[in-house]
Chain A
Amino acid sequence: MAAAVTRFFLRGAGSKVPNTGVSTRGHSSFGATLLKLSPSCNVRTKTQRRHAAHFTFQPDPVPTQYGPTQKMNLFQSITSALDNTLANDPTAVIFGEDVAFGGVFRCTVGLRDKYGKDRVFNTPLCEQGIVGFGIGVAVAGATAVAEIQFADYIFPAFDQIVNEAAKYRYRSGNLFDCGGLTIRAPWGCVGHGSLYHSQSPEAFFAHCPGVKIVIPRSPVQAKGLLLSCIADKNPCIFFEPKILYRAAVEQVPVEPYTIPLSQAEILQEGSDVTLVAWGTQVHVMREVANMAQEKLGVSCEVIDLQTILPWDTETVCKEECFLNLEAPISRVCGYDTPFPHIFEPFYIPDKWKCFDAIKRMINY
């Protein structure tokens, strides 16, 4: 499962050196190849030191159209969104494991004291029960915000999400729906999460019509998108990149505001290569776009997909379709292995791997 998938499209006219085809490199040089791709690590026999984060958070300019702003990091912006929700919607309830004291990532700090223990409460350790219960709360007309403690634990609830939540409106002919349900979960690699605290399960849900999947890249986006998800009359799954909880700090509007779902955002216009990413990977892509501009003279367009399902096909494929692409679409992601513990620095699609992919693409 990829930590975050990035896709590359190469467009523009003119042919380049013919491609030699996908070559399977000699397996014995595999290790050296990986190391070549990461100039930051030289070949050493002693233990690798822990690397710095594979991305640099790039804050957006301060939004002016939503009123006064305050400096917040990602988890604080989530708290702010939930605060707004509980204040404005008397039917809203928040529940999950350990949310009462503030949550294991401090996303619900202070809410129980402010709004009472019947609106912010803990559940026992039962993900299937949490989501099933949330569907019921939503069907009965309340706004339910369910927290799954880590996206890796969402699988016991997979049946409830796919078979119950997603199909409720359809199977009842619009008589009933659980649109008031929003499921939030910390998501993605964090540097030391290994198999069960690093997964990015959005792909499993991406084939399920009836749910929406949203992944923000920053605090401003997170608050707006979360409020949109809560307001949206469909069950939504909101994945929060946990590595950004503290690392991403921005000026976030204090008042509630929404960012439309199913609309990808073009962060940077370009003419040669399109880079599509979501979550933490967007920041990697922005850096890669700069690198490509400096070192290769390649102009990259960076798109943050934001909503994985239903995704904004129009923005991403705006000018081209397959026949116009100069090179095959390139997918840069984690290896097809479970998310490793000790091998994590080699597993994640860091900026060097993406940069390398761009290089190959333009030489296709």
Chain B
Amino acid sequence: MLTNISNVLRACVQRNQVATVLISARTYADFTTEATFEIKKCDVHKLDEAPATQVVLTRDEGLQYYRIMQTIRRMELKADQLYKQKIIRGFCHLYDGQEACAVGIEAAINLTDHLITAYRAHGYTYTRGGTVKQIMAELTGRRGGIAKGKGGSMHMYCKNFYGGNGIVGAQVPLGAGVALACKYQGKNELCVCLYGDGAANQGQIFETYNMAALWKLPVIFICENNRYGMGTSVERAAASTDYYKRGEFIPGLRLDGMDFLCVREATRFAADHCRSGKGPILMELQTYRYHGHSMSDPGISYRTREEIQEVRSKSDPISLLKDRMLSNNMASVEELKDIDVEVRKEIEDAAQFATTDPEPPLEELCNHIFYNNPPIEVRGTNPWSKLKSVS
């Protein structure tokens, strides 16, 4: 639109021989500050109410969440690149495609609430307060990493974020435990406990459902259903693919996990449910990952490229938010492009830091096995060498 104005003015200049024309930049007053959107209705299980379908998004919120989602997206793509260059080794499970889940959830809870998830955790580490630099340095195993370089991709932690867990389904009972602590301490906090469609078939999940419902724990169980448990599609793994109903006696919601607004609204609803003392609630986010299960999985042997392309073109969370904002005059293309450029720069700097930071010192090898005061001795690789473990 700016181009149009300038063209018109240029034409005027040529006609009227005016020497200079000042084209003022668009002011923020030109944008709509907020707009109401209609979102898809959630499927509900054992609930009388459902999350609202008319939601409000302000311009500031939109830009903020666009930036966060774009940061996560670029960070994951950069991690992909670094992995292929063998700067990141080991395991790397990328989150691109699922950004709306992490960002939507965080938008509806506070940083004082608690969150635990499985190994596809880079996005959550960022939304919970980690910086891109810390995350990337952890991926490359350097001392600047968020876990001092000792954890790697699957083990990132920060305040009120309990990881980052490698064993499938093992984090769910932990999440219930955190929720019990919240209830016990009476600070009106809750715990968001995430797992995937593959983990939904683990026994410990059902043990946790029972405990959480019995003791009315303030826990939001969230199943991120990205349709594939590694290479197995949900139809081949689960007798019932209605993951939101699997909690049976726990109320459930199923929603579109690619739409940030849906996720935010449903999480708000779920958080209210928990905070009002009604006990646990289960949410199923129907989402999609563009990459394979991990970096060793090309991701196309169990699904077609066309399917991935289709999701990318029709349901990409960042595009969805972008289109909504542009079509409602809440931001300009240039503004969003500027955000993209800034994000790119931030990621580049972080990658630079992650590649150049030194590795943790060897003395760290045995530290933090136990809590021990004074330092204890650790058996080494042969009986004559003993190492020191400090905590």
Given contacts A22-B383, A27-B387, A346-B362, contact A335 B198 (CB under 8 A): no
**Does the CB pair A129–B359 fall under 8 Å?**
no
> What range describes how many residues of B lie at the interface?
35 or more
Given contacts A31-B361, A98-B230, A353-B381, contact A125 B387 (CB under 8 A): no
Contacts of A337 in B (CB 8 A): 365-366, 369, 378, 389
Contacts of A98 in B (CB 8 A): 230-232
Chain A 116-134 residues near chain B, CB threshold 8 A: 122, 124-126, 128-129
Number of A-B contacts (CB under 8 A): 134
Residue A163 is within 8 A (CB to CB) of chain B in the complex: no
Q: Which of B15-23, B49-57, B101-109, B162-170 contacts A (4 or more CB under 8 A)?
A: B162-170
**Does the CB pair A47–B378 fall under 8 Å?**
no
| Closest Cβ neighbor of A128 among chain B residues | B203
Q: Which listed residue, A27, A125, A335, A336, touches B202 by the CB 8 Å rule?
A: A125
Chain B 195-245 residues near chain A, CB threshold 8 A: 198-199, 201-204, 229-232, 236-238
| Closest Cβ neighbor of A341 among chain B residues | B152
Of A30, A122, A338, most B-chain CB atoms within 10 Å: A30
Residue A156 is within 8 A (CB to CB) of chain B in the complex: yes
**Does the CB pair A195–B155 fall under 8 Å?**
yes
Residue A186 is within 8 A (CB to CB) of chain B in the complex: no
0/1 interface trace, chain B 349-363, chain A, CB 8 Å (1 if under) = 000000000111111
0/1 interface trace, chain A 148-164, chain B, CB 8 Å (1 if under) = 00001101100000000
Bound: A33/B380 CA distance, A: 12
Chain B 135-159 residues near chain A, CB threshold 8 A: 141, 149-152, 154-155
Residue B91 is within 8 A (CB to CB) of chain A in the complex: yes
Rounded to whole Å, the gap between the CB of A107 and the closest CB of chain B is: 15
0/1 interface trace, chain A 299-313, chain B, CB 8 Å (1 if under) = 000000000000000
Residue A286 is within 8 A (CB to CB) of chain B in the complex: no
- What are 29 A-B contacts defined by CB distance under 8 Å? A22-B384, A23-B384, A25-B386, A27-B363, A30-B388, A31-B361, A31-B362, A33-B385, A48-B359, A50-B86, A97-B232, A101-B231, A124-B229, A125-B198, A125-B229, A152-B167, A156-B202, A156-B204, A194-B91, A195-B166, A330-B383, A332-B382, A334-B381, A336-B378, A337-B365, A343-B362, A346-B365, A347-B381, A357-B382
A residues adjacent to B (C-beta < 8 A): 22-25, 27, 30-31, 33-34, 45, 47-48, 50, 97-98, 101, 122, 124-126, 128-129, 152-153, 155-156, 192-197, 328, 330-338, 340-343, 346-347, 349, 353, 356-357, 360
